Structure formats: structure tokens, C-alpha cells
């Protein structure tokens, strides 16, 4: 194997192993920042040695062993962390010459619990939402700072600072590296699910830039969601979120035209939907429902997505059921954005006039003042009612609010269509 091929292999191995490696080290050192440094040191060592010695049979065990040995050296030369890692030095010193099979057993032990601890630590509510997203993608997704910055269209130094501040905040707040228990689990799990879905949504409908979608972010979020479902199999909302993401991701190929232009749901070629992902999503919904209890917000949204997935054509969509599910979701979340979605469902089930009544009630909602989809939906309903001049104004306003180039072009095109129709009818 050439040196370049070995480096590519090392990069692939580290992406696969890094989350488990950081999680295992964090259990020992109780500091995710230090754990990541140790993991990076092990990567550097692999880049130096593996091109000559070859990739070991169990690269994860090799990386963990190397990181543990680096930890001893770090404890010895760094006064700053001496007290924090006194126990670490004693424990690891005894294992310094341990056999590889013993190290493999140590790595495999509790790896699921370690990953779960890392998930809850990276998504701790003491951090800002932006910091949680960046830290989760860095520690659990294995993305570089450059990749995160590119995905979210923010400067790389901004992402780097978010990650540095997040690690510092966790250390200063003495956030324990543990899985929350009892009543605290629900609130903390909600934070984790929010982060994963934010990542997915940014991939599914990019808020800014020239691309309508960023599939890599969807894939990262799906991977994290699937891991979480394996680690918390008795939490229905985890399965609900996975179901929602699987079904939405199934439409990815049909959502973008040959030139990168957006294709809206009702105009999509459903033959291009990924039916494997749909089956996975429906299976995940079944798991969530089998666990019993009232449906949570992610499972309700997954049920809505399932209504679309089960319809062979747009005309077969059960809009009355979707409207009912949105009504339940509004009662649960009290969210103006959900209420806007409910208005769309009502317009499809009971006519555009019924939907417009609900939309007009949201026009004065402060939280939607800069939300481009409010005038976009209102423009669509006005156009369906033949009020094209008013619709044009709404589409132009929506275009001025969105930061996504593809979406702006679509909205301006719709505004131009309304302008032409309005001229013909005047």
C-alpha cells in the first residue's frame, strides 16, 4: 500500500473510531476537550507509524492504547492538569505494558454507555445551540472544523471558537460525564434530539447559500440518530426522530432538479423516492408506537411524513389526517411554525380559503416577522384564490427574506408568474 493510500485509510479509520475513542478517553479523564486532544495525538502517531508498519488488525485498540500512553506523558509534564488526572496516572501506569487483547477488551467494555455519555455531554443545555451543534458534529460526527464551517456557511474561525468555548464551558461548569437519570433524562434527551434534527434540517433545507440541500449533513444526522436509537431503544421519541429523518431523506433525489433547482413535494416524481429509507422510517414509527404512551412531537411529525410516503400520488394524500395530526402537534408544541404548517394542511384538506384564515391570524406573530415561509405560504394561497396581484407582493417579500439562492429564484419566478397572470386578468 502506498503512503497516500495508507493516509487515506488512516483518515477513514479515524472517522469511524474517533467517537468511540473520545468517549472512552473522556470516561477516564472526565474532560472531553482533553479526550479529543489525546485522540488527535494518537492519530498523529498513526500517521507517523502505520505507513511503515502497516495498519494493525484492530486499529481502534491501537489508537486507544496509544492515547492512554500519551495521557501518562501529558500528566507528567503538565502541572495544569496534574490534580485532575492523578488517578488516571496511577491507573494507566499499571496497564502501560498490557497485551493488545486486554486493551481490546477494555475498549469494547461499556462502549455504548461511553458514547451515550458523550452525546449527552456534547448536547448539554449549559451550551448555546450553535455550540452544541458544532461540538456534536466534531466529537460524534468526526467532522473537521473546516467541514462544519463549510456545511453551515460560517467562517472557520467562528466554528473553531465555538468548539473551544464549548469545551471550556463544560470544564468550568464541571459538567459530569454521565447519562442523566430520572426526570432529568427527558429534558436532556430533548436537547440531544433538537441538535440532531437541527443538523438534519440544515442539510434538508439549507438556510443559506447556493444549494437547496446539503445531503452530507442529512447523512451525519441520520447516522447519529440511528446510533442513539440503538443506545436508547426504549425511548419512543428517539425512534420517532429517526423515522422522521428516514422518511424525509427518502425524498432527497426527487427534491432537486437537473440544474439544482428546488422541486416541491407535490411536484416530485415519487418513483425517485428511496423506498428502502421509507420502509426503515415506517419500521421506526412502529417501534415508537409499540412503546406506548402519547405520541411526542417527533413521532407526530413522522406520522405526517408517513402519510406522504404512503400516498402513491400527490392526489392520494390523506390531507384530513395530516391536518388532524398537525392540530395535535400544535396543541403539544404551541409553535407558530407548526401552526403555519397546519394552515397548509387545512388548505389542502378544506380549500385555500380555510387555510388563508389560519395564515392571516399569524401575520402579526412577532416570531414569524422575518420567517420567509409565512409570506410564501400566503402568496401560494392567494394565487390559488385568484388574487394574483396580492400573491406577487407576498412572493417578492418571501424572496427578500430567504438567504438561500435557489429558494429566492423559485419565489421570484412565482412572483413573475403572478404578475403575468394579473396583467392578463386586468
- The structure's pTM equals 0.82
Question: What is the reported pLDDT for 60?
Answer: 83
- Is the pLDDT higher at 70 or at 131? 131
pLDDT tens column, 109-139: 455 788 899 999 999 999 999 999 999 999 9
pLDDT tens column, 235-268: 999 999 999 999 999 999 999 999 889 999 999 9
Mean pLDDT, residues 152-176: 93
Average pLDDT taken over every residue of the chain:
88
Q: Which of 42-56, 84-98, 312-326 has the lowest mean pLDDT?
A: 84-98
Confidence of residue 105 (pLDDT cuts 50, 70, 90): very low
Predicted confidence (pLDDT) at residue 357 exceeds the cutoff of 50: yes
Question: What is the reported pLDDT for 109?
Answer: 46
Residue 414 exposure: Cα atoms within 13 Å on the Cβ side: 28
Mean pLDDT, residues 2-29: 82
Question: What is the reported pLDDT for 91?
Answer: 54
pLDDT tens column, 214-232: 888 899 999 999 999 999 9
Amino acid at each position: 500500500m502506498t503512503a497516500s493510500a495508507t493516509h487515506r485509510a488512516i483518515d477513514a479509520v479515524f472517522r469511524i473510531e474517533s467517537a468511540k475513542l473520545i468517549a472512552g478517553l473522556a470516561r477516564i479523564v472526565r474532560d472531553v476537550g482533553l479526550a479529543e486532544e489525546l485522540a488527535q495525538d494518537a492519530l498523529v502517531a498513526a500517521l507517523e507509524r502505520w505507513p511503515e508498519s502497516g495498519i494493525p488488525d484492530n486499529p481502534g485498540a491501537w489508537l486507544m492504547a496509544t492515547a492512554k500512553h500519551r495521557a501518562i506523558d501529558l500528566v507528567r509534564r503538565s502541572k495544569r492538569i496534574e490534580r485532575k488526572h492523578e488517578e488516571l496516572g496511577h491507573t494507566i501506569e499499571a496497564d502501560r505494558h498490557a497485551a493488545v487483547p486486554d486493551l481490546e477488551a477494555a475498549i469494547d467494555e461499556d462502549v455504548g454507555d461511553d458514547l451515550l455519555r458523550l452525546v449527552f455531554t456534547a448536547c448539554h443545555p449549559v451550551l448555546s445551540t450553535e455550540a452544541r451543534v458544532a461540538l456534536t458534529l466534531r466529537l460524534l460526527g468526526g467532522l473537521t472544523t473546516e467541514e462544519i464551517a463549510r456545511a453551515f456557511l460560517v467562517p472557520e474561525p467562528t466554528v473553531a471558537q465555538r468548539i473551544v468555548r464549548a469545551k471550556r464551558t463544560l470544564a468550568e461548569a464541571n459538567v459530569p460525564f454521565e447519562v442523566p437519570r430520572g426526570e432529568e433524562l427527558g429534558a436532556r434527551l430533548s436537547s440531544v434530539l433538537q441538535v440532531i434534527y437541527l443538523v438534519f434540517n440544515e442539510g434538508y433545507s439549507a438556510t443559506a447559500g447556493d444549494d437547496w440541500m446539503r445531503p452530507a449533513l442529512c447523512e451525519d444526522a441520520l447516522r447519529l440518530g440511528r446510533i442513539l436509537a440503538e443506545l436508547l431503544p426504549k425511548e419512543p421519541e428517539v425512534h420517532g426522530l429517526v423515522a422522521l429523518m428516514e422518511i424525509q431523506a427518502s425524498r432527497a433525489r426527487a427534491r432537486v432538479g437537473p440544474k439544482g433547482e428546488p422541486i416541491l413535494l407535490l411536484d416530485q416524481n415519487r418513483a425517485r423516492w428511496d423506498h428502502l429509507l421509507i420502509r426503515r422510517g415506517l419500521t421506526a414509527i412502529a417501534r415508537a408506537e409499540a412503546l406506548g404512551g402519547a405520541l411526542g412531537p417527533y413521532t407526530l411529525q413522522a406520522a405526517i411524513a408517513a402519510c406522504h410516503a404512503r400516498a402513491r400520488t400527490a392526489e392520494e394524500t390523506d390531507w384530513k389526517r395530516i391536518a388532524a395530526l398537525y392540530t395535535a402537534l400544535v396543541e403539544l408544541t404551541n409553535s407558530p411554525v407548526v401552526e403555519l404548517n397546519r394552515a397548509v394542511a387545512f388548505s389542502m384538506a378544506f380549500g385555500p380559503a380555510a387555510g388563508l384564515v389560519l395564515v392571516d391570524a399569524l401575520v402579526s406573530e412577532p416570531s414569524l416577522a422575518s420567517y420567509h415561509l409565512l409570506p410564501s405560504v400566503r402568496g401560494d394561497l392567494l394565487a390559488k384564490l385568484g388574487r394574483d396581484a396580492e400573491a406577487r407582493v407576498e412572493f417578492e417579500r418571501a424572496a427578500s427574506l430567504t438567504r438561500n439562492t435557489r429558494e429566492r429564484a423559485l419565489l421570484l419566478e412565482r412572483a413573475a408568474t403572478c404578475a403575468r397572470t394579473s396583467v392578463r386578468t386586468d
